[in-house]
Structure 1
Amino acid sequence: MVISKKGSALTAVVHLTVLFLVVMWTIPTAGLFISSIRDKDQLSTSGWWTALSTSEQRLVERAASPESQTQENGLWVIRGNVLGDSEGEVTRFGSSSLKPEDFAAGETAELRRGIRLQVMANGDYEISSETEMQGRRGQRIFYTAEVPPRFTLDNYREVLGAEGLGKSFINSLTVTIPATIIPILIAAFAAYALAWMKFPGRGLLIAAVVGLLVVPLQMSLIPLLKSYNVIGEFFGVGAKTYVGIWLAHTGFGLPLAIYLLRNYIAGLPGEIIESARVDGASDFDIFRKIILPLSFPALASFAIFQFLWVWNDLLIAMVFLGNNEDQLVMTGQLRELLGSRGGNWEILTASAFITIIIPLCVFFGLQRYLVRGLLAGSVK
Structure 2
Amino acid sequence: MDNIAGTRARLVWAVNLAAAVLVILWVVPTIGLLVSSFRDRDQITASGWWRAAFPATISSFVRAGTAQDQFQENGLWVIEGNVLEPGQGLERWGTSSRAPEAYAPGETVDLKDGEVITVAPDGGYRLTAPQEFTNTRGMRIFITTTTPPRFTTDNYARVIGAEGLGRAFLNTMTVTIPATVIPILIAAFAAYALAWMQFPGRALLVAAVVGLLVVPLQLSLIPLLRFHNEIGLGKGYLGIWLAHTGFGLPLAIYLLRNYMVGLPKEIIESARVDGATEFQIFRRIILPLSFPALASFAIFQFLWVWNDLLVATVFLGNRPDQLVMTGVLRELLGSRGGDWEILAASAFVSIAVPLLVFFALQKYLVRGLLAGSVKGG
Q: Which bracket does the TM-score occupy, shorter chain normalised?
A: over 0.9
Equivalent-residue separation in structure 2 for 1:187 and 1:4 (angstroms): 42
Q: How does 1:39-58 map onto structure 2 within 5 Å?
A: 39-58=40-59
1:151 aligns with 2:138: no
Equivalent-residue separation in structure 2 for 1:163 and 1:82 (angstroms): 34
Instruction: Tell me if structure 2 keeps the 8 A contact 1:44–1:346.
Output: no
Select between 88-97 and 328-337 the one with higher mean Cα deviation.
88-97
Equivalent-residue separation in structure 1 for 2:339 and 2:4 (angstroms): 59
1:315 equivalent in structure 2: 310
Q: How does 1:30-41 map onto structure 2 within 5 Å?
A: 30-41=31-42
Equivalent-residue separation in structure 2 for 1:142 and 1:306 (angstroms): 51
2:21 equivalent in structure 1: 20
1:211 equivalent in structure 2: 211
1:122 equivalent in structure 2: 122
- SS for the counterpart of 2:138 is coil
Which residue, 352, 371, 375 being the options, matches 1:376?
371
Instruction: Tell me if structure 1 keeps the 8 A contact 2:258–2:375.
Output: no
Equivalent-residue separation in structure 1 for 2:124 and 2:301 (angstroms): 57
- Deviation of the 1:74 alpha carbon: 4.2
Equivalent-residue separation in structure 2 for 1:299 and 1:35 (angstroms): 36
Which residue, 246, 255, 258 being the options, matches 1:251?
246
Equivalent-residue separation in structure 2 for 1:120 and 1:159 (angstroms): 39
Equivalent-residue separation in structure 2 for 1:356 and 1:17 (angstroms): 26
TM-score by length of 2: 0.93
Equivalent-residue separation in structure 2 for 1:270 and 1:171 (angstroms): 43
1:110 equivalent in structure 2: 110
The aligned amino acid for 1:370 is: L
Equivalent-residue separation in structure 1 for 2:162 and 2:189 (angstroms): 43
1:83 aligns with 2:47: no
Instruction: Tell me if structure 1 keeps the 8 A contact 2:39–2:341.
Output: no
1:99 aligns with 2:94: no
Select between 220-229 and 130-139 the one with higher mean Cα deviation.
130-139
Equivalent-residue separation in structure 2 for 1:338 and 1:230 (angstroms): 35
2:277 equivalent in structure 1: 282
1:194 equivalent in structure 2: 194
The aligned amino acid for 1:211 is: G
Indicate the percent of aligned positions where both proteins have the same amino acid.
64
The aligned amino acid for 2:246 is: G
- Deviation of the 1:140 alpha carbon: 2.0
- Deviation of the 1:287 alpha carbon: 1.3
- SS for the counterpart of 1:42 is helix
- Deviation of the 1:3 alpha carbon: 4.9
1:354 equivalent in structure 2: 349
Select between 261-270 and 61-70 the one with higher mean Cα deviation.
61-70
Equivalent-residue separation in structure 2 for 1:17 and 1:258 (angstroms): 30
Which residue, 314, 337, 344 being the options, matches 1:342?
337
- SS for the counterpart of 1:371 is helix
- SS for the counterpart of 1:346 is helix
The aligned amino acid for 1:112 is: K
1:326 equivalent in structure 2: 321
Instruction: Tell me if structure 1 keeps the 8 A contact 2:83–2:124.
Output: yes
Select between 74-83 and 331-340 the one with higher mean Cα deviation.
74-83
The aligned amino acid for 2:261 is: A
TM-score by length of 1: 0.93
Instruction: Tell me if structure 2 keeps the 8 A contact 1:179–1:246.
Output: yes
Instruction: Tell me if structure 2 keeps the 8 A contact 1:109–1:117.
Output: yes
- Deviation of the 1:53 alpha carbon: 3.0
1:10 aligns with 2:5: no
- SS for the counterpart of 1:326 is coil
Select between 194-203 and 67-76 the one with higher mean Cα deviation.
67-76
The aligned amino acid for 2:309 is: L
- Deviation of the 1:215 alpha carbon: 0.8
- Deviation of the 1:110 alpha carbon: 1.7
Instruction: Tell me if structure 1 keeps the 8 A contact 2:156–2:345.
Output: yes
The alignment's C-alpha RMSD in Å is 1.9
